[in-house]
Chains A and B, each alone.
Chain A
Amino acid sequence: MPTPALMARGNNMGRGPYEKSGILEDTALHPGHKVQERFEIYFPVDEVDTPDGKTAQVAEERSMDVTVQLWYKPFGNMQQAELWREWEQTISLDDKAKPTTYYSGNKE
């Protein structure tokens, strides 16, 4: 959303309408413009011993439930915020994975 300038001078934000004049920046979605956001969520990985005496890195948790929510925050926080969209899906490492052991490296 627009970050209003305080009395149209400098880089301080004005909060009350009586002190707002101008815009410092605007993070709003603008008409007709496509906005893309990319998120990366990592699985926890443990290092385990393998039967051949080496160590391997293994993700014991193989899936995660991902929820994406789009909130409208009229005051920039959760006060009177409205949930506009919600998307949920379970993402599994095994959906397209082939059996693989990833060794941690050669022991000396």
Chain B
Amino acid sequence: MKSLKIISLTAMVLCLSASLAFALGAGVGRDGTIAAKKGKAESLQQLIDMYDVSSCVGCHPNNHEEWDESPHARSIYGTGRAAATMITAMKNGFMSWDYSGVESTKDIKIEHWMGCMKCHLPQLADATDAVAVELADTLLEWYDNAIAAANNPKDKKAVETSTRLAETLTSLNINCLICHNRNAIVHKWTDGYPQHDTVYGFNNGGHMDDQFSKSKRSLIMNEAILCGQCHGLGPNLELDNPTQCATAYGSYLWAYKAGGGQETCQDCHMKKSGLGHKMVSYSNKTMQEMAVDFEVQAYASQWLDGSILRPKTIVNVSMVNRAGHGIPDG
């Protein structure tokens, strides 16, 4: 009887191990990632805490300040317009489609969001479906209160709620740990899975942090594909209902590299521009200067249209795009 119990227990442990392995998927070292070690986030706050970077700021204040001015620091919220677009994507997108399985926000699952969040919040994949619902409800509550506050700035409850929820949404972003850990390795079966205790950059060795005590070289930290994970080839065909946002990486590969271009995203947006982790684009004067050669030539000519005098100014404008992708992108 005792041996039967032991066999049953062993069988159960084997079953659990098998189901855990199935949940994690293939690959050696996958069980060492942040998500695997901490388990899936069950609330937005848990997701924020899972990728908390407050310990980075003390030693890397300049990088943090630069990043804080970048769109990466507000990848869901943006200026409010991005957050409103997420709501549009939800209402006009998967809540309106016949076969999405979503009739109300309670039906929303993580995969419904990934059309947006693959890039705007890739770590959302490390959360449960309850977080997908919470995100939807948070966006809607923020929007309703933001509108109410805009219409009536004296509505204290609306102002307080919209401000508080905007802060929550802004805390969900593309931070240090997304580029320097979670998304730092693309070819995981070749280079290994990003580990929960390691920061990925340009060096191997120790790292002065209690939680992230190791540093390791990422072979793509200065390669365009690191950015290309989000900055787009075109339709995201891996999704059950493909979306399309950025196309810059596709243009980079097939228009810029195909024409002999040798720079990477990081070369222009971080190094040559001097922007570092701020890495803004079209709104920045330096990037504007770097992006385009612009030349104008104008002269007068007294054209005769049959027997009618038609003096005119002729303006010739010449432009060469010096960026590594089409301008504008979209």
Contacts and interface: CB of A to CB of B under 8 A. Distances in A.
Contacts of A105: 307
A74 B327 CA distance: 10
Contact of A82 (B282, B326, B329): B282
Interface string A77-108: 00000101101010111011100101011000
B154 interface: no
Given A22-B235, A42-B311, A105-B307, A31 B317 contact: no
B282 to A, nearest CB: 5
B292 A38 contact: no
Nearest to A105: B307
B329 A28 contact: yes
B330 A66 contact: no
Interface in B146-190: none
A4 B330 contact: yes
18 contacts: A2-B247, A2-B329, A19-B92, A21-B235, A28-B251, A31-B255, A31-B256, A32-B260, A33-B320, A35-B320, A41-B312, A68-B317, A82-B283, A84-B294, A85-B292, A87-B296, A93-B302, A100-B302
Contact of B243 (A18, A38, A43, A84): A18
B38 to A, nearest CB: 30
Contacts of A21: 234-235, 242-244
Interface residues of A, number: 55
A30 B323 CA distance: 8
Chain B contact residues: helix, strand, loop or mixed = mixed
A16 B318 contact: no
A24 to B, nearest CB: 12
Contacts of B320: 29, 32-35
Contacts of B291: 84
Given A20-B245, A92-B300, A30 B321 contact: yes
B234 A93 contact: no
B244 A22 contact: yes
Given A17-B116, A17-B244, A21-B242, A1 B329 contact: yes
